[in-house]
Amino acid sequence: MSIIFSKPYFLFAAIAACKNPVDRRAFAVLGGLFLSCWIHGAAAQSLSERQVRDVQEALIWTTEYDGLIDGKLGEGTRQAIGNFQKRTSSSPTGQLSPQELDRLLAEGTQIRDQQFGFKQYTDTDVGVSVGIPFALLGKSGKTKWGRHWDNSLVSIDLLRFGTEVSLKDLHDRLISINGRTVAYDRLVENDWFVISAFENGAAVYVRANLVHFPDQPAEIRGFSIWMSKDRPKSYQAIAPAMLSSFRSNYDKNTDVSNYPIGRAPAQGGPVAPVPALPPNPISNRALDSSGPAIQVGRCYRGLGECPPILSAFR
């Protein structure tokens, strides 16, 4: 007869094997403590993928996590949980108790909704959908390449380029302008890129996808974030939150239609049905530097100063 020696079974078998009553009682006390810890650990490990996504999102807003929301309880997520536990004077186990989980989700939700007003925004002209921290920004304005929001500390742009520039040329230009110090750079040629860089203390983040259509040339869709060197520490949540919520047309894999606003999976289908994000016609918008920058909403700051970068692509 085969026996599966799970931890609880092995514990009970060992207690039963003790013939001395004193030893048996002592073993039972220690075993009870062990079983309590094992049950607690098992409960902490039993988070569903949806719960892990919620935990990751909350940890982004508490600034303990700067990765993507992917529903995977990996080392980065465990370390972020440990950092949250340290900050809240708990033992940094990397596993959340039910009480810690409730506290984390409540704290992250409060910061996301009340402090940042972060909500999913779909722009059918640009052909993207992404979370925007509306509580920090004024009214948006259209630019030659998309849409723009800003205040004195943060500037956000949505972008759409046609055939006037290739994805690689745009990427190569962005990592070299304005004396940038690049902190993170990944290019998947003919697909997408992400850049994180600094300019005299200001932070710049750019994400761009190459969107392919069956009957017309591909286009670049993406967004940029610029943050002042005087930005509060809490602003470091903006970039990972936007990266995780970003969608362009014809993304694939997971259906995200049932996820709450701003909390979609890191990779998946468009948050709005494809008909609501129709392919735009080939762009005829000239990328030039004529006229003062104020006329185009202070320009696409992730691309650098308007005249140098735009004239480079004429």
Spatial CB neighbours of 150, under 8 Å, sequence gap ≥ 6: 137, 138, 156, 297, 298, 301
Compute the distance between CA of residue 151 and CA of residue 158 in angstroms, rounded to an integer. Answer: 16
pLDDT (tens digit per residue) in 103-154: 999 999 999 999 999 999 988 888 888 999 999 999 999 888 889 998 889 9
Average pLDDT of the chain to the nearest whole number: 74
For domain 120-311, the CATH superfamily is Mog1/PsbP, alpha/beta/alpha sandwich (3.40.1000.10)
In CATH, what class is 49-116? mainly alpha
Domain boundary assignment for the chain: 1-46, 49-116, 120-311
φ/ψ (deg, to 5) at 14: -65, -40
pLDDT (tens digit per residue) in 11-50: 445 445 555 655 555 545 555 544 444 444 444 458 899 9
Q: Is residue 290 over pLDDT 50?
A: no
Q: Is residue 288 over pLDDT 50?
A: no
Q: Is residue 271 over pLDDT 80?
A: no
